Amino acid sequence: MTSKLWLYVWDGFAPDYTNGLAFAIAKDEVEAREIIVKDIDWNPSNWGDLSIHLLDKSFGKAVCGVG
């Protein structure tokens, strides 16, 4: 049996200057964070707000810059 995959989305990710966005598709939050840390090569102190979505339906999200 295969494990379900989830979409983990962090809004307000690493907001040193502006709010960022991070996402990962993983089996659990621990794996999702490991994927992000490996991708950016550092572990932020502020991950922002997390939303979790089972990959069983369509999902969309947009983050617009201000400037």
3 state SS of 30: helix
Judge whether residue 66 has pLDDT over 90. no
**Domains in the chain: boundaries:** 6-54
- Tell me the two tokens of residue 46: 């502020």
Q: How many C-beta atoms surround the C-beta of residue 20 within 10 A?
A: 18
Contact 52, 32 (CB under 8 A): no
Contact 37, 31 (CB under 8 A): no
CA 13, CA 27: separation in Å to the nearest integer?
20
Question: How do residues 5-59 score in pLDDT, each as one tens digit?
Answer: 999 999 999 988 888 999 999 999 999 999 999 999 999 999 999 999 999 889 8
